[in-house]
């Protein structure tokens, strides 16, 4: 099959493209750095020529909630319109577990708009909600780190290995549209603060972590808000196994 991956230079997009190619598929990588601009639509029609399915693993951009929602809306509309013109038969969207349970987060607001457009759009679709990735804790702490100190929200998550997410997306892309797919998560819950501490240790870094709620991750994300629902698909790679690869 000929499959396009939007956001192909990002972590999940690159892994998904590699997984598809490993399985013998013809992969079209879509990203601004490769000459295709999802915001303006430039290069999209040419990129989607002969494409059977599209995996959307684009990450959000924007300093505010309004900018983030607008970015997801613009890129999704352009992508779906180009897919319709090209006769694409399957649109696969990577989303987030719990996105409809958390109102205050700007990124989640953008993802909800993205899901809405896909569900109402002209191309048969599958939406794949995934939990946070194993590298999420270290990434979050890096956003606030100053002079070896970082604040981080004490979230309860059930993290998944990026390669496992990519494998699921690649599998779904070559099949029939499934509508809203089951939540996809790692094998066991983890505390985000502990995850960050252990990741920094594995990478040989010393960072003092200060657990606190913030505007970015408020108390509406506490408890089981980010955990997968009943009937979730659990990927095999544990956080400990992923952590061993960071040393």
pLDDT in tens, 182-230: 999 999 999 999 999 999 999 999 999 999 998 678 899 999 999 999 9
Classify domain 2-244 by CATH architecture: 3-Layer(aba) Sandwich (3.40)
Condensed to tens digits (0 to 9), the pLDDT of residues 90-123 reads 999 999 999 999 887 889 999 999 999 999 999 9
> What pLDDT, on the 0 to 100 scale, is given for residue 62?
73
pLDDT, average across residues 136-161: 94
Is the pLDDT assigned to residue 63 strictly greater than 80?
no
Is the pLDDT assigned to residue 245 strictly greater than 90?
no
**What residues does each domain of the chain span?**
2-244
Using a cut of 0.85, tell me whether the model's pTM lies above it: yes
Task: Report the distance separating Cα 33 and Cα 35, nearest Å.
Answer: 6
Condensed to tens digits (0 to 9), the pLDDT of residues 76-86 reads 999 999 999 99
């Amino acid at each position: 099959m000929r499959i396009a991956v939007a956001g192909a230079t990002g972590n999940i997009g690159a892994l998904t493209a590699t997984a598809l190619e490993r399985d013998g598929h013809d992969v079209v990588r879509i990203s601004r750095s490769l000459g295709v601009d999802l915001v303006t639509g430039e290069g999209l029609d040419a990129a989607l020529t002969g494409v059977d399915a599209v995996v959307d693993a684009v990450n959000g951009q924007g300093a505010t909630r309004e900018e983030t929602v607008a970015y997801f809306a613009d890129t999704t509309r352009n992508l779906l319109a180009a897919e319709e013109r090209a006769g694409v038969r399957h649109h696969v969207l990577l989303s987030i577990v719990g996105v409809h349970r958390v109102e205050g987060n700007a990124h989640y607001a953008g993802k909800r708009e993205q899901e809405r457009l896909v569900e109402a759009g002209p191309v048969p679709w599958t939406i794949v909600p995934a939990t946070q990735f194993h590298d999420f804790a270290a990434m979050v702490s890096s956003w606030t780190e100053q002079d070896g100190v970082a604040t981080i929200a004490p979230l309860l998550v059930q993290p998944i290995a990026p390669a496992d997410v990519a494998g699921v997306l690649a599998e779904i892309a070559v099949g029939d549209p499934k509508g809203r797919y089951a939540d996809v998560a790692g094998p066991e819950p983890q505390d985000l603060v502990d995850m960050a501490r252990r990741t920094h240790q594995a990478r040989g870094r010393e960072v003092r972590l200060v657990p606190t709620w913030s505007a970015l991750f408020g108390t509406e994300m506490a408890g089981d808000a980010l955990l997968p629902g009943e009937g979730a698909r659990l990927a095999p790679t544990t956080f400990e196994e992923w952590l061993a690869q960071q040393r």
